[in-house]
Chain A
């Protein structure tokens, strides 16, 4: 089988062997998680010739839908919520179990336990349960009317309705991609909005302070009341349980009626609690073929992982186990896992995903390729921040590891090639719209756990048995509590 990989990262299969010689006999495949990864895995299974029984289990009652628009066009009121259902790219002939959560996995008997008591048998299992939004730490405050998280279509629908009703002041807690996009929509709708971020800039988790400083400026230009190095200490409600106020660590008390909690994501691994897999808050560890590891570091034969919930070794980053919340990874890893589930071992292929994500906010398109979070330096290579169009490259120990394109998506493919080639940093480009002299600066990433939003992509240790990294120099509880400020962190 020849696979041609284009500059833009897609695989095109240019020839394939007959299905009967490359196939393992499997009767039942179960996919737990009926979102993007689950759906694409189901399609890939059928594409790869699997003809047995296929079950898709999802805890939400909806057919798979796309999440990115939930914090953008749905929230803005432009896209109706039921217009987010994902297209099925082919017939999958699956048994759908929607609105029922998986609550346990019995590996010995090859069964998934469902919340309604059912047991679902499998020959092969794909774990694609993804993540959920981290709720506000204080449960009482979180239950106030007006406090929202944003992950599901129901969340988006409710929040969109609330924003359309013209709240007096919105507070967004957490300045990652989700929080920033929500703040952007609020400004589009003409709503006063405060964004509180514990780190020194918005997007510092994913893109570092140097880039984050640019975005901070733009947010303010758009009218966001941006508070960095600030946390929300408490949310207060009235006697009817409606949100009324927020107390910030800078001493300010805001009169607010809507708070959007955008503190990152929690991997949905609780249902695997007794399964003795290498599963923890970082996700489920798997090998390059997406087979799950057990807690002893042994790879399983019949359990695969794909999407936000997976951690897998990425060859481009020295085999470090990578965990991303990327749309592109959900799609690619689902296809790889599905293929590897049903083919003969000699035809398995490794999951070789180059991290890539995008965001649209404050009138700009932000795209990134590679893994910025491991970088120590960043340099502007094309365009300027003033013209709101630029490309910046991230380097780690003298090698290019990522690139960031703002309002310049057409420029990114060239950098993808440099990243894959591990080209030297800073790159010698002499671009026509580049600065006369490249001036690398510190990228400004914070130690693990310091931000109150998801970095979106994280290197999570070199092996499946590597324990979770403990934050250095601070009490772990303090860092885990998003209400506790850390003080300014300068470059």
Chain B
């Protein structure tokens, strides 16, 4: 019998690490009220229809400096430098549009498709290293190193420096959590600000090198374009902020879509078997994983004016949490939502968001996840979960297992 909580305390429970492995019953309780004001004043939106409406609503802002609470931790740590620029994910139009457009001019279908020939052998290489073992940690041995290398290759980040990036990225990622989850906030802020500055310094150095000798990587492409066809559209601080964003997103999200995918398949062995028989099924399977266990569980926004929605008035400047993972399980939108069904029709999930901030990296993430899941399912003989539920990462927003131990009989070719 699931514990019931008062509605205005449900989000607090959802953030509690003890509930990380299965927040879905809590989401179901929340959905009884589409828009629920929490004790601390945050408005949590948990139903599909309302989440979708707000993601498209021009009165909703991604720039939380405009909220009555002021800029949250993740904003403050990036603005310590005098001209510290926020990444476009935290900005509204017109600045958001200007910056995203410049990035998209280089994050092209050709560039993404060009990564395929890097991803395929890399996936096999990571698996080959598991030969002669009987168990692997999907996260440490596979789902984490894969996207790290892929984004590094795409951006042109030297692989030998990735341990430095890991430190910076984890410090920054901690700031994505709402205040109540961050104990010792002052210390977290200090470390994250330092990480942000150090990372930007590093990236600045890289940008300078590439300006002199451009390669075929994305950093070079951005540096060259902002001197030529996109001149005047993105200054250096903005380039650094964009690169920092792409790195962070590359490091911290795809790991969860792969791991959540493996976990879900191992809990649904009939689907795994179908996937083994028919690798093309991975296309729909990944979409259903993105619905069922999205790597990004919620987004935070603020409002530019009062918004009347679902019989509630969200005041101007409020902090609004859009609980994507709950919308993905809304029975009013998805029949039998808690059933993992890759054959589902009309699977318009929130796995990559919606609206103008729709995930830039989605095509790359899909490619990596398709290839990764197909390879795992093809090559691990008799894979099975060692611990269910596995231990989870502390992060509530970017949700996934910390480790996923999978036992297997052998590794095929």
Contacts and interface: CB of A to CB of B under 8 A. Distances in A.
Contact of A428 (B52, B61, B305): B305
Contacts of B5: none
A430 interface: yes
A300 B57 CA distance: 43
A411 B58 contact: yes
A4 B47 CA distance: 13
Interface in B44-75: 49, 52-53, 56-59, 61, 63
Nearest to B58: A431
Contact of B304 (A12, A413, A431): A431
A389 B94 CA distance: 11
B52 A7 contact: yes
B59 A429 contact: yes
Interface in B325-341: 332-333, 335
A382 B332 CA distance: 32
Given A6-B52, A7-B52, A410-B56, A14 B335 contact: yes
B386 interface: no
Contact of A434 (B58, B332, B333, B346): B58
B58 A410 contact: no
Nearest to B62: A432
B382 to A, nearest CB: 38
Interface string B322-360: 000000000011010000000000101000000110000
B178 to A, nearest CB: 23
Nearest to B333: A4
Contacts of A470: none
Contact of B335 (A15, A381, A382, A383): A15
B346 A7 contact: no
Summarize A's interface: helix, strand, loop or mixed.
loop
Interface string A197-215: 0000000000000000000
A440 B58 CA distance: 19
A382 B346 contact: no
A414 interface: yes
A433 B92 contact: yes
A432 B53 contact: no
A389 B96 CA distance: 14
A253 interface: no
Given A15-B335, A382-B58, A430-B59, A7 B305 contact: no
B93 interface: yes
A417 interface: yes
Contact of B93 (A12, A414, A433): A433
Given A7-B49, A432-B93, A433-B97, A12 B346 contact: yes
B305 A430 contact: yes
A59 to B, nearest CB: 35
Contacts of B348: 6
Given A6-B348, A12-B346, A431 B59 contact: yes
Contacts of A389: 97
A389 to B, nearest CB: 8
A7 B92 contact: no
B304 A432 contact: yes
A434 B61 CA distance: 13
Contacts of A387: 94
B57 A432 contact: no
Interface in B282-339: 304-305, 332-333, 335
A308 to B, nearest CB: 28
A428 B303 CA distance: 13
Contacts of A381: 58
Interface string B150-174: 0000000000000000000000000
A4 B332 contact: yes
A431 B332 CA distance: 29
A432 B332 contact: no
Which residue, of B49, B93, B97, B305, has the highest number of chain A Cβ atoms within 10 A? B93
Given A7-B53, A432-B61, 7 more contacts: A12-B346, A387-B94, A410-B355, A410-B356, A431-B59, A433-B92, A433-B93
Top 8 nearest A-B pairs by Cβ distance? Answer: A432-B92, A431-B58, A433-B93, A430-B305, A413-B56, A430-B304, A414-B56, A433-B94
Interface of A: 4, 6-7, 10, 12, 14-15, 381-383, 387, 389, 410-411, 413-414, 417, 428-434
18 contacts: A6-B333, A6-B348, A7-B53, A12-B333, A15-B335, A382-B93, A383-B94, A411-B56, A411-B58, A411-B356, A413-B52, A414-B58, A431-B59, A432-B58, A432-B93, A433-B58, A433-B92, A433-B97
